[in-house]
Amino acid sequence: MTLDRDLLFQPVRLGSLELANRIVMAPMTRSHCPDGIPTDQIAAYYGRRAAHGVGLIITEGVLINDPAAGGYPNCPFLYGASALRGWRQVVDVVHAAGGKIVPQIWHVGEVHRLGDEPHPERPGIGPSEVRLEGKLLVHAMTMADISRVIAAYAEAARNAKESGFDGVEIHGAHGYLIDQFLWQVTNHRHDAYGGNFTNRLRFAVEVVAAVREEVGRDFPLIFRFSQWKPQDYTARLAANPAELAQLLLPLKEAGVDIFHASSRRYWEAEFTDSDLNIAGWTKQITGCPTITVGSVGLDSVSWGGANATGIEPLLQRLGRHEFDLVAVGRALLADYAWANKIREGRTTEMIPYTKASLSRLD
Ligand SMILES: Cc1cc2nc3c(=O)[nH]c(=O)nc-3n(C[C@H](O)[C@H](O)[C@H](O)COP(=O)(O)O)c2cc1C
């Protein structure tokens, strides 16, 4: 049976977030914001995707106001007059094109090393100390550090709201700061923020609660999480649905509206006895709307060579309400008109993703 592509293009209201369709641009770091300031080129880049049928844009990771928040060159900030002016322009361009946009707020934690921007003189900070040959690479966060960084997440969310964004996404995935607290491999603490599951979850819950408190009840709050880490694709925070519930329900309670369940391939079953993917389980467990992601629209997948032909399996899952929204990363980097080409069945006109797509910002 051929499923109707229109499933992807139905408008949806998720709490106070009203979207023209189900297609989301996945957050992707582009390293094109010198001094942390989004440029006209960045505004045009996001605006083009909104104008070509993307319902919701999640920006690249945007650094919160902490000297050790960054780990890569030319990442944007969500603080400071110049960066916020730049973001206001991005938001205006996206809104004028009929789209919605939220920033992804980000602290890289122990990924920041001496020499990294924006403060190369600082060691990283994270749940646990890291030393190499006696040299301090990552400083274990004190209680004062934890309070300061939580306040910086809240400040970033307030800045998002004041800049006209349509919500905010907290980056809790992919082995960065929040995920470093969650994952037992990177969290060796013996205080209230380490050890058992509840303690490892405490930092994430406090970040969500502080953000919610800062932005008020109606501002959409998305939380992105992942089982996998860049250094270990087989990593697991939750080995079964009961553990996933232990992870997600306190985050929902703290104020999450929408979960963005990051997986590398959307068609993979997360646990045995069901073909639900991680976004499907997340929706079933929390009752919250969810975003799925992972190799949508890619013919060959650089992360593992799996073959994802067509979007039929995606439509099947969407049609049975396994998730609500579909995030698209690399396919949308390669082709800013991807969404409209899907809608209009112009699949032969698609520009396929290649490594070269990463060096373009059109
Ligand atoms: C160039 C690039 C940059 C990325 N940067 C981020 C990021 O800043 N934050 C994030 O959560 N994920 C980031 N990701 C992961 C994507 O959001 C997405 O989860 C991943 O690419 C899988 O989706 P895809 O198969 O549709 O590309 C990045 C991916 C790529 C390719």
Q: What angle do CA 15, 16, 18 make, to 5 degrees?
A: 95
How far from 111 is each of 64, 139, 177, 298, 358, CA to CA, in Å?
15, 12, 8, 28, 21
Record the tokens describing residue 89, joined without a space. Answer: 């322009």
pLDDT of residue 28: 98
The residue whose C-alpha atom lies closest to atom 31 belonging to ligand 1 is 330
State the closest ligand 1 atom to the C-alpha of 301, by its place in the atom list counted from 1.
25
- Name residue, tokens 């890569």: 72
Residue 337, helix vs strand vs coil: coil
CA 101 to centroid of ligand 1, rounded, Å? 16
pLDDT of residue 120: 82
State the closest ligand 1 atom to the C-alpha of 174, by its place in the atom list counted from 1.
11
CA distance 20 to 2: 23
The residue whose C-alpha atom lies closest to atom 6 belonging to ligand 1 is 28
The residue whose C-alpha atom lies closest to atom 4 belonging to ligand 1 is 28
Read off the pLDDT of residues 38-73 as tens digits, 9 standing for 90 and up.
999 999 999 999 999 999 999 999 999 999 999 999
Residue 105's CB: how many other CB atoms inside 10 A? Answer: 26
Tens-level pLDDT at each residue, the chain (362 residues): 456 889 999 999 999 999 999 999 999 999 999 999 999 999 999 999 999 999 999 999 999 999 999 999 999 999 999 999 999 999 999 999 999 999 999 999 999 988 887 788 889 999 999 999 988 999 999 999 999 999 999 999 999 999 999 999 999 999 999 999 999 999 999 999 999 999 999 999 999 999 999 999 999 999 999 999 999 999 999 999 999 999 999 999 999 999 999 999 999 999 998 999 999 999 999 999 999 999 998 864 443 444 444 788 899 999 999 999 999 999 999 999 999 999 998 888 989 999 999 999 99
Query: Taken in order 28, 31, 32, 36, is the CA torsion positive or negative?
Result: positive
pLDDT of residue 29: 98
The residue whose C-alpha atom lies closest to atom 2 belonging to ligand 1 is 28
CA distance 153 to 34: 21
The residue whose C-alpha atom lies closest to atom 15 belonging to ligand 1 is 28
Q: Is 292 exposed, middle or buried (0-12, 13-18, 19+ CB in 10 A)?
A: buried
pLDDT of residue 304: 40
CA 28 to centroid of ligand 1, rounded, Å? 5
The residue whose C-alpha atom lies closest to atom 13 belonging to ligand 1 is 28
pLDDT of residue 299: 66
Record the tokens describing residue 38, joined without a space. Answer: 């989004």
Looking at the 3D structure of the chain, how many domains does it have? 1
pLDDT of residue 121: 85
Please say whether the beta carbons of 333 and 48 come within 8 A.
no
pLDDT of residue 174: 98
CA distance 212 to 158: 10
Backbone dihedral angles phi then psi of residue 290, each to the nearest 5 degrees? -135, 155
Q: Which of 23, 25, 28 is the pocket-test mutation for ligand 1 (most atoms within 8 Å of CB)? A: 28
The closest of 155, 319, 290, 320 to 225, measured between CA atoms, is 290
The pTM of this model reads: 0.97
Give Rg (Cα) of the chain: 19
DSSP string, 110-176: GG--TT-SS-TTSPEEESS-EEETTEEEEEEP-HHHHHHHHHHHHHHHHHHHHTT-S-EEEE--TTS
CA 329 to centroid of ligand 1, rounded, Å? 6
CA 282 to centroid of ligand 1, rounded, Å? 20
Which one from 45, 79, 176, 353 is the annotated catalytic residue? 176
Q: Which of 23, 24, 25, 29 is the pocket-test mutation for ligand 1 (most atoms within 8 Å of CB)? A: 29
CA 133 to centroid of ligand 1, rounded, Å? 33
pLDDT of residue 308: 45
CA 60 to centroid of ligand 1, rounded, Å? 8
State the closest ligand 1 atom to the C-alpha of 265, by its place in the atom list counted from 1.
25
CA distance 354 to 298: 10
State the closest ligand 1 atom to the C-alpha of 264, by its place in the atom list counted from 1.
22
Residue 232, helix vs strand vs coil: strand
CA distance 298 to 332: 10
CA 29 to centroid of ligand 1, rounded, Å? 7
- Domain CATH code at residue 72: 3.20.20.70
Residues lining ligand 1, judged by CB closer than 6 Å?
Answer: 26-29, 60-61, 104, 171, 173-174, 224, 262, 293-296, 298, 328-331, 358
The residue whose C-alpha atom lies closest to atom 28 belonging to ligand 1 is 28
Q: 80: domain range?
A: 5-359
Long-range (24+ apart) CB contacts under 8 A made by 279-285 are 279/322, 279/323, 280/317, 280/322, 280/323, 281/241, 281/244, 282/244, 282/248, 283/259, 283/321, 283/322, 283/323, 283/324, 285/241, 285/244, 285/245, 285/248, 285/249
Q: Is 176 a catalytic residue?
A: yes
Which residue blocks in the chain are alpha helix, DSSP H? 40-51, 81-96, 143-162, 177-182, 197-215, 241-254, 278-286, 312-319, 330-334, 338-343
